[in-house]
Amino acid sequence: MVWDFVAWGYLAGVALVFLRQLVFSLLEMDSFAWNAIRQTEFFGFLAMTAVFWPLVVIKKPIVLFKPAAMFESELRKANEERYRSQLERLPPYCSARVLMNHIPNTCEGTQPTGFIFDSQDVEAVLRSVGRFGCFEARDEKALLKWVDFAVLCDDTKTEVPAIWQRAFNMVADELIYKGLGECYCLQCERTYPNKLLVPSTGSTGFGWLQNRYSCPEGHLVLSYDFMKVFCGSRH
């Protein structure tokens, strides 16, 4: 009799935990989260949690209230995708000049660098280069929409959103190649016209190339990788 009661209690707990987690997930997770998490893996996790609910209650009870917390990396991707989609729908403010703060890479030796370009030049490059076959095509289209609504009477600098940084690297490369814009080298503590930067290109293997730019004093100010076979450009 006692064991029957325990068995029925356990089964009731399985059903209750599974339904509770499912309801919490449906209420808390939006379409971006569902797209980022593989559903078979997620529902398998819910099932395992429900089956072993006595252990979960003892070891990690938070899972009963926030099952999605076990998928942190997927949720980070969902947050990034949500933010990217928001910027695509409602581009942030853009002024007459665009600032790209290049993030330093200690492995490559690049330094913190600020690149300044005219918004109209950025727009012209995005419309003419024809790079929309690249992996960053979506972000490049969003960039075009962003600079398309630039307030040209405002001469202040607007920073490129970090989420578009990788796509903008290729745009910046084309602008620098054309000698447009200027660069601030932190090591020199000087601003140089981009036409004075020294370019170089090398291979990193497996079809990838690397574009590098140095200031007149030899300090590396920009470096990024691109795949030659997919990105149609001057390279």
CA 140 to each of CA 102, 151, 157, 171: distance values in angstroms, whole numbers, following the listed order: 17, 19, 20, 8
Query: Domain locations in the chain?
Result: 2-88, 92-227
Q: Per residue in 129-147, is it b (16+ CB within 10 Å) or e — as a string? A: bebeebebeebbebbbbbb
- pLDDT reported for residue 43: 72
Q: pLDDT value at position 106?
A: 47
Position 180 scores a pLDDT of: 94
The string over 87-110, giving b where at least 16 C-beta atoms fall within 10 Å of a residue's C-beta and e elsewhere, is beeebeebbbbbebebebeeeeeb
Mean pLDDT per 10-residue interval, the chain, length 235 residues: 63 71 66 69 71 71 66 76 88 93 57 84 83 65 91 92 85 88 89 91 66 87 63 49
* Inter-residue contact 176 to 222 (CB < 8 Å): yes
Say what the pLDDT of residue 103 is: 63
In this prediction, residue 23 carries a pLDDT of 66
